[in-house]
Structure 1
């Protein structure tokens, strides 16, 4: 069986593991990201590769997932929170240091294609993927291929304007309205005397009858529903996949679908259309590693 190394680089930590040709991940480990030390982070990545190679010497390639605008050739126009990698060709550097073929992919794109391989989008050729975390990332898959756009910026769904804000337009974007951290948690903490750092507490307080939590969640669902409807009527996907930690909450997925239906009913042009369903992503924390390896296999 063919074996690969999957690496998922985040602003806080780097996850890595052994990924086989069926997408099964084993020997997982992680280390803290040195986000201001380019050489140090590169050395850590090479050390991780060597560690996995010591477990299985038959590694035939590396798949890397990371934030930012990632060109098809592995050049990082931007690199999100991993600022030290902006402006480098990570593919070329890793290939030179490890001797292994390498594919570098944007993290949202990697998560999206992982769901196509062994997740919630199996057998689906056209779909959208949104990842709700600190902000809102995403990917658009058309005819089984990631659509990158003219500048490799396709899928930046968080920049969409979904609410009015005359003072700062960005505060009305899906990032600041539909993301988990700078959306839901930030808005709740603006008004709460008991701030939270975990969205699950907002759901618990809503279930306990707290008016603020219920009102914030209602507004949150509404903004997210509008953003998703905009994407559905623009691209006509077969399904919309939602990733990020909040997607594991079945109450969240159910209420989001209900809110989409409520908004659709008062939109005369689309109220009689069957819009695609919204489903939770299946692969959770391993999606980046799995998707990056999938892109390497199909390069």
Structure 2
């Protein structure tokens, strides 16, 4: 049985584990992302790999999922919320430190391809993946392949402009309107005296009748719905899959699909079209590790 180290580097935490050739993850653990200190984060990643190697000395490589624009050789043109990794060749650095070959993949691409392998997109040939976390990650799968674009920037759906903002256009982007952290939580904290760092608190306050929470969620759903409709009419996918912690919330998915239908109903050119419903990713927090390792399986 072939086995690999899976690393899923996020803006808040790094998840890691032992992933076998069937996509089964074991020995999972995590640590906080030191996103401001390149050397410290590299040391933490190296320690995680060596911990997995101590468990199974026969691991064949390291699959890494992380935000940003990732070149084929493992060079990071950008690195999203993990800013200290911008401009480095992470694959090369990990190999130098561990002796194992490393393959790096954009986190949304990794999650999307994992869902095709053993998740919600099995048997689907054309679909869109969205990951709602610190920002909005995206992946476009066309004819069973990740579409990367001319500069490996395809899928940066978070950069789409979905709302007007005359002062700072980026504040109207899907990142700042549809992400869980810099979208929903940030906007709630702008107006609340009781700051939160967990979206679940906002949902609970809305259920308890708090006007602010209900209004922020309504605006959040509306921005996200517009972004998804833009993608659906642009690419005509069979399916749209959403990952990230918020996708585990059934209330969120139900309300998002209802909002998509409401927005669509007011658009005369598309109101009668059969657009796909948004579906939750199946693999949850393991998707990044599984998709990153799939690069070795599919090599």
TM-score, reference length from structure 1: 0.94
| Shift, 1:226, TM fit | 0.6
Q: Which residue of 2 aligns with 1:3?
A: 3
Whole-Å separation in 1 of the counterparts to 2:189 and 2:83:
28
Distance 1:64 1:214, change over 3 A: same
Whole-Å separation in 2 of the counterparts to 1:142 and 1:232:
13
Q: Which residue of 2 aligns with 1:48?
A: 48
Whole-Å separation in 2 of the counterparts to 1:195 and 1:50:
38
1:60 aligned counterpart, secondary structure: coil
Q: More deviation in 221-230 or 50-59? A: 50-59
Q: Any gaps of 5 or more consecutive residues in structure 1?
A: none
Q: Which residue of 2 aligns with 1:264?
A: 264
For residues 229-267 of structure 1, give each alpha carbon's deviation from its aligned partner in whole angstroms, at most 9, with x where no partner exists: 000000111111111111111011011111111111111
Q: Which residue of 2 aligns with 1:210?
A: 210
Distance 1:203 1:35, change over 3 A: closer
8 Å contact 1:66–1:106 — kept in the other structure? Answer: yes
Q: Which residue of 2 aligns with 1:193?
A: 193
Distance 1:183 1:32, change over 3 A: closer
8 Å contact 1:133–1:244 — kept in the other structure? Answer: yes
| Shift, 1:36, TM fit | 4.0
Is structure 2 residue 254 aligned with structure 1 residue 254? yes
8 Å contact 2:128–2:241 — kept in the other structure? Answer: yes
Q: Aligned ranges for residues 1-299 of structure 1 at < 5 Å?
A: 1-299=1-299
TM-score, reference length from structure 2: 0.94
Say how many residue pairs are matched.
299
Q: More deviation in 235-244 or 29-38? A: 29-38
Whole-Å separation in 1 of the counterparts to 2:32 and 2:214:
36
Distance 1:93 1:161, change over 3 A: same
Distance 1:180 1:46, change over 3 A: closer
Distance 1:99 1:226, change over 3 A: same
Q: Any gaps of 5 or more consecutive residues in structure 2?
A: none
After the TM superposition, list the runs of 4 or more consecutive aligned residues in structure 1 that deviate by more than 4 angstroms.
none
